[in-house]
Amino acid sequence: MVRFTALVLVAISTPALSESLHLVCLGEGSTNQPTSSSAYLHDNSGNSAWGNIVGSRSVPFDDQVNIDLTDDSGRIRMPRVMLPIAHGGSGGWFEIRKIVKTDQEITGSIQVNFVNSPKLRLDRITGRISIHGMNGDYTGECAPYDPATVQRKF
pLDDT tens for the chain, 154 residues: list them.
Answer: 555 444 333 333 334 445 789 999 999 999 887 778 888 777 888 888 888 888 778 888 899 999 999 988 899 998 888 888 778 888 889 999 999 999 999 999 998 988 889 999 999 999 999 999 988 999 999 999 988 888 888 8
Residue 52 lies in a domain: no
Whole-prediction pTM value? 0.73
Domain residues for the domain of 62 are: 16-32+58-144
Residue 23 lies in a domain: yes
Long-range contacts of 5-12 (CB under 8 A, 24+ apart): none
For the chain, the 3-state helix, strand and coil shares in percent, each to the nearest 5, are 5, 55, 40
Residue 6 lies in a domain: no
Residue 149 lies in a domain: no
Residue 27 lies in a domain: yes
Residue 154 lies in a domain: no
- How many helices and strands in the chain, by DSSP H and E? 1, 8
Q: How many domains does the chain have?
A: 1
Residue 46 lies in a domain: no
Residue 50 lies in a domain: no
CATH number at residue 113: 2.40.160.90
